[in-house]
Amino acid sequence: MPRLLSKEWWEERVLRMYDSWRDPVTWHVTETPEGPGDLRQFKRRRFALLVTYKRSGDAVPSAMWFGLKDGRAYLRTGCDSWKVRRMRNNPQVLFAPSNIRGKPKGAVLACTARILPDEEKPAAARIIAGAYGAGRKLYDRTVATVYEEAAYIEITPNALLKAEAEAEAETRARAEEEAAGRRVEQARD
């Protein structure tokens, strides 16, 4: 048992509080068919529902604060949190705008989570802080201090990843065509 009033004790209490707030609906969300492929619906929203998966395939929902930039969402949590462990095993997640209890307030999107390396953490922290201002700064100095170290997570809609891969493949094919054309011209000369 954690020592009374230690960081571990506080972390356990905070996590229990979050669990008690969770809306029962969050345990049963599924991807919205024909939902939007981007995060535009998240503008002017304060919370997002993040659903990660256990190895058994069971869904685990969490309501999170987030920041948006360039079609991606950025989240912060503890490095040793269970959601980070689950994302290391399975980066496929569901993501939806929600209320503070995690009840979806829009389409549920299939996304891919990426745990950011240390050099990308400051930029993600600025994006999240910029979305909330003084309220986030107060949270970071009080409640969030129970985490020893923070993990920052980038959430990218699978539709955006697919579009980026197609655009990259097209660019690569165009470059190969141009290179082949130059070789033909050089052979003629």
Q: Where are the domains of the chain?
A: 22-158
Residue 29, pLDDT > 80, answer yes
C-alpha 4/C-alpha 86 separation (Å) is 28
Residue 20: its pLDDT value, please? 75
Q: What is the mean pLDDT of the chain?
A: 86
> For residue 176, what are its two tokens?
């190969």
Please tell us whether the domain made up of 22-158 is placed in CATH 2.30.110.10.
Answer: yes
Residue 64, pLDDT > 80, answer yes
Residue 141: its pLDDT value, please? 65
Q: Which residue has the tokens 């979806």?
A: 104
Residue 161, pLDDT > 60, answer yes
Q: Which residue has the tokens 């503070």?
A: 100
Q: At what angle do helices 121-132 and 134-141 cross, to 10 degrees?
A: 120
Among 40-49, 70-79, 83-92, 140-149, the range scoring the smallest mean pLDDT is: 140-149
Decide which of 95 and 188 is more confident: 95
Task: Give the model's confidence band at 147: pLDDT under 50 very low, under 70 low, under 90 confident, else very high.
Answer: low
Residue 120, pLDDT > 90, answer yes
Average pLDDT over residues 140-167: 81
Average pLDDT over residues 118-126: 92
CB-CB contact of 12 with 42 (8 Å): no
Angle at alpha carbon of residue 94, lines to 10 and 47, rounded to 5°: 50
> For residue 88, what are its two tokens?
């290391």
Task: Give the model's confidence band at 105: pLDDT under 50 very low, under 70 low, under 90 confident, else very high.
Answer: very high
> pTM of the predicted model, to two decimals?
0.81
Torsion of CA 95, 96, 99, 102, to 10 degrees: -40
| Closest C-alpha to 70, from 42, 36, 94, 39 | 39
Average pLDDT over residues 165-175: 89
Q: Percent of the chain at pLDDT above 70?
A: 88
CB-CB contact of 53 with 60 (8 Å): yes
> For residue 7, what are its two tokens?
């960081």
> For residue 58, what are its two tokens?
């069971």
